[in-house]
Structure 1
Amino acid sequence: MTDVSLTQPALPRAAQRPRTWPRVAAAAVALLATWALYVTWDTFVRTGSGQSVDQLALDGAARGQGRLWELAEPVLGVVSTTFVGLALAVAVVLALVRRRWWLAAQVVVLVVGANLTTQVLKYVVLDRPALLDVPRADVNTLPSGHTTVAASVAAGLLVAVPRRWRPVVAVAGAGFTAATGVSTLVGQWHRPSDVVAGVLVVLAWGALTCALGSPSSLDRPQDGGTAATAGAAALLLVGAAVSGAVALGALGGAGGTAWGLPTGGGLTAYMGGVLGVVAVTLAASATLLLVRQATARPAT
């Protein structure tokens, strides 16, 4: 007997239908990321204890800064307006080469929307009460613009590339974003909460883009990549869990809580901030990978 599924041609992409539940899940992720962004600001900016731990991490970055800055400065030097333009052009061209016209527009909306959101939040919406006796105590620096640039470029490429390439792009993008965020800590340009907020802005925009994607963003039914997706997501989530657990202990120790590590001070807070940034970045990349793969799979 002939297998009908092998003899029938694949449906045109315009005739493919997106599945509903992945889109609902993507919208929920966008809302959770927005809520997490608010909680980050409310905890580390609007409270004295949060500002104290964040400031300890900023001050602790002075330890060994000379050698680390030799590695961090070139990373930050890459992130610029020119870099955003070139990376955005690459992502758009990838979508256009694949004849995904609306997908190219979605990539532009994601990257531009995330970076505009960060600037508006930092300079217009969010404030920073002067709860500590430190220079520029009332100047808000949340979210981090450099981190938003790096994360949005990684997210744009993740959305634009074919299904089989997304696990590789997710892992590489997580590494680049984490390196950029940590580099801003090394240079004392930002506090850990600023970097985490930048990642969350991009996660919210990325998930929203996936939730509202057009038929142009759907994969072909026969496209694979399931095993690679599971492996990449597992790798990112395990890394996030390990680094996150140590980060909580270090930040707890710096804050003097009973459950924290039995050490304190600026260096402990700094290391906790670095690991916290890594944990959030890895978790966000894994989440966006899973969301993109789920929303790109058409209904059968």
Structure 2
Amino acid sequence: MLDATRTPPRYDAPDARPVPRTGPRVLAAVVAVVAVLAVHLTWYVFVATEAGQRIDRLALAGAQHGQYELWILAEPVLGVVSVAFVVAGIVAAMAIALVRRRWALALQVALLVGGANATTQILKHYVYDRPHLLPGWNGANTLPSGHTTVAASVAAALLIAAPRSWRPTVAVVGGLWTAATGISTLVGQWHRPSDVVAALLVVLAWGGAVCAFGSRSSLDVASRPGDRMRSPSSYVTAGLMALAGVGAGVMAGIALTDLGTRVQDPPFEGDITAYAGGVAGVLAVTAVVFAVLLLVRQATARPERP
């Protein structure tokens, strides 16, 4: 017999609050650690070894090909990146979180942008150096790229702050914007490909860490009881981005293999193969980074009991 005096359980009762899942958070932490190791590996291979410096230098010199025409497109992209852009990006991401009444999430996205950009500057100026392994002046260390870090961190913050259904679109648009910024630094000969790749990995590390240690405020809330919050579009989007990244990675690998047979032969003339390979490498890493961030964010935002 039903007890008519018993109060039915409410969907918004305290014991029905979203509970984070442990597995996805552990995975996010692993992603962050792998990204940290990958940053160091990128520096070691392309900056701390003679062969790596030769390849990077060939790619830098190769940017002279078609530079005048490409700079017309690249200069406006780089002109957007500034302190004001960082502030605007943080404010926008925090505003999205606050509109969604996610107070702690607003602080998390600010930490992501600030932490990633601070990390890049510390690594560039105080942790990593550029040993003089090649003839002539190589310049100071430029790894990681500050401009790329700004663009990628703002895009990642917006991805993490956005509602669940918006995240696939934000990941694609943010990835395209970040890739355009990174490639523009190559066009202007501001950075080498390894600088851009390292910057992307720095942002991936911070994005993974924020997802791994996020508060309840970062969890999605089901729109109705029983909603499992599956995201087929996220899997499709991430899969297509990863597929594009693999394709670009294959092209970069082919270029790298070809260069491996010629990097020991000076002089260092502008090499279109190295330049194209560097661009392909940047596209590959950008696509994979944002695909991973999308999947990690969706997985860690989905609660145990929606």
With structure 2 as the length reference, what TM-score do the two structures score? 0.91
Q: How does 1:105-184 map to 2 (within 5 A)?
A: 105-135=107-137, 137-184=138-185
User: Structure 1 residues 130, 11: CA separation in 2 closer, same or farther (over 3 Å shift)?
Assistant: farther
Q: Which secondary structure state, in structure 1, belongs to the residue aligned with residue 142 of structure 2?
A: coil
Stretches (4+) displaced over 4 A: 10-14
Contact 1:163 1:223 in 2 (8 A): no
* Identity over aligned pairs, percent: 57
- Does 1:9 pair with 2:11? yes
Name the counterpart of 1:261: none
Q: Which secondary structure state, in structure 2, belongs to the residue aligned with residue 142 of structure 1?
A: coil
Name the counterpart of 1:100: 102
- 1:235 to partner: Cα distance: 1.2
- Does 1:207 pair with 2:212? no
Contact 1:254 1:266 in 2 (8 A): no
Long gaps (5+) in structure 2: 1-8, 263-268
Name the counterpart of 1:68: 70
Name the counterpart of 1:285: 290
Equivalent residue in structure 2 for 1:42, among 44, 53, 56: 44
The whole-number CA distance in structure 2 between the counterparts of 1:13 and 1:91 is: 30
- Does 1:82 pair with 2:87? no
Long gaps (5+) in structure 1: 1-6, 258-263
Contact 1:88 1:111 in 2 (8 A): yes
User: Structure 1 residues 11, 54: CA separation in 2 closer, same or farther (over 3 Å shift)?
Assistant: farther
Q: How does 1:188-227 map to 2 (within 5 A)?
A: 188-221=189-222, 222=227, 224=229, 226-227=231-232
- 1:225 to partner: Cα distance: 6.0
The whole-number CA distance in structure 2 between the counterparts of 1:11 and 1:179 is: 47
Amino acid at match of 1:153: V
The whole-number CA distance in structure 1 between the counterparts of 2:56 and 2:40 is: 16
User: Structure 1 residues 192, 211: CA separation in 2 closer, same or farther (over 3 Å shift)?
Assistant: same
Q: Which secondary structure state, in structure 1, belongs to the residue aligned with residue 20 of structure 2?
A: coil
Equivalent residue in structure 2 for 1:249, among 220, 229, 254: 254
Q: Which secondary structure state, in structure 2, belongs to the residue aligned with residue 62 of structure 1?
A: coil
With structure 1 as the length reference, what TM-score do the two structures score? 0.92
The whole-number CA distance in structure 1 between the counterparts of 2:228 and 2:68 is: 48
Name the counterpart of 1:187: 188
Contact 2:112 2:157 in 1 (8 A): yes
Q: How does 1:20-59 map to 2 (within 5 A)?
A: 20-59=22-61
User: Structure 1 residues 128, 14: CA separation in 2 closer, same or farther (over 3 Å shift)?
Assistant: farther
- 1:104 to partner: Cα distance: 0.2
The whole-number CA distance in structure 1 between the counterparts of 2:261 and 2:16 is: 58
Q: Which secondary structure state, in structure 1, belongs to the residue aligned with residue 174 of structure 2?
A: helix
The whole-number CA distance in structure 1 between the counterparts of 2:239 and 2:181 is: 23
Higher Rg of the two aligned structures: 2
The whole-number CA distance in structure 2 between the counterparts of 1:14 and 1:148 is: 39
Contact 1:111 1:156 in 2 (8 A): yes
- 1:12 to partner: Cα distance: 5.7
- 1:8 to partner: Cα distance: 5.3
Contact 1:218 1:296 in 2 (8 A): yes
Aligned Cα root-mean-square deviation (Å): 1.7
Contact 1:164 1:224 in 2 (8 A): no
The whole-number CA distance in structure 1 between the counterparts of 2:145 and 2:179 is: 12
Q: How many pairs are equivalent? A: 287
Contact 1:14 1:215 in 2 (8 A): no
Amino acid at match of 2:202: V
Equivalent residue in structure 2 for 1:269, among 267, 274, 284: 274
